[in-house]
Amino acid sequence: MVGSNGLSGYATNGNGNGVAELNPNGKSTSNGSNGNRASRESIAVNWERLARATAHPLRVSILEILGIDGGRVLSPSDLSQELQIPLSNTNYHVTELAKADLIVLVRQRAVRGATEHFYTLPEALPKVEAEAATVGEPVHA
């Protein structure tokens, strides 16, 4: 089935900012019949924001790098070195990902008169906080 958003296997509430419902076999579910919510998973998705945030292949690469090994904490400078692209390009795309809440600011530090920011994926935040607690390093957002 093609949902109102044009994606196969998804049904949405029609406003583009709603709930995508997908059961385990990839078929969309309806809100009617038995009302048993345990048989399906609902994920709130802002489709427009997600599409804009991941529209550039560099942003997808940034998300992939931050997700390596269960979640890494890197600065735009670290990312620019790994991706071998200019820091200005990396800064722009990291800022856009942060605005879309696809990455989160973990900490900051002063470096040569500037502030270096470190980011991770939201899913990796509990792991990052646990690691910081073991080494006594504060986590700031």
Q: Which pairing describes strands 114-120 and 19-22: parallel, antiparallel, or unpaired? A: unpaired
pTM over 0.75: no
Residue type, 91: N
Residue 3 has pLDDT above 70, yes or no: no
Residue type, 136: G
Residue 7 has pLDDT above 80, yes or no: no
The owner of tokens 């470190």 is 118
Helix (H, G, I), strand (E, B), or coil: what is residue 121?
coil
The pLDDT score that the predictor gives to residue 44 is 65
Rounded to whole angstroms, the Cα distance separating 33 from 20 reads 18
On whether the CB atoms of residues 137 and 101 are closer than 8 A, the answer is no
5: Cβ contacts below 8 Å, ≥ 6 apart: 12, 16, 20, 47
Residue 69 has pLDDT above 80, yes or no: yes
pLDDT tens for each residue of 20-53:
444 444 444 444 445 444 545 555 667 777 787 7
